[in-house]
Structure 1
Amino acid sequence: MGMGITMGVVEIDNRGRITIPKEERERLGLTPGKKVLIREKDGSLIIKRFISPERFISELKGCITIEDHEIDPLKLKEMWGAKF
């Protein structure tokens, strides 16, 4: 599939488990013991790599710099909206 979107069909076992294809696990760095985030959106199941709050915060360091003026909360909201 194009644009970074891959698709596959997997079977749910009798305990409700699925197996993520090896190629996808390797591509996403999903190794045994890693956690994933699962959520439902519009009738679809979305599985994402889980990033701990500590790691998320550490990766944000340096993204926002404070100059000699206050940050406007609405401008900050716009910046975050554009990023996500």
Structure 2
Amino acid sequence: MAKVDSKGRIVLPKEVREHLSITPGTEVDIHEEDGKAVVEPEDNPEQIIERMERIITETSPERGDTMSLEEEPDPVAQKHRDAIRRGAEDSNNE
């Protein structure tokens, strides 16, 4: 049985991760449904990118000053964006 640590983290059992194709870096949606926690892997790269862009905008030091996609993004955000796009391209080529 999995345990919740002091930071609210749990480790999904290997069998569950394999069954749901959850690998390191997989984005997941976690929500409550009928009193249970539900974990679903996010498989739509466009939704992941939209969510990342919303997070970047919301956490910008000056919230009223948003960055367009043509401007130079934060290097960490760009690294994540590139990784998601590579994953999407790999999925489309399979």
Larger radius of gyration: 1
TM-score (norm 2): 0.44
Higher relative contact order (CA 8 A, sep 6+): 2
TM-score (norm 1): 0.49
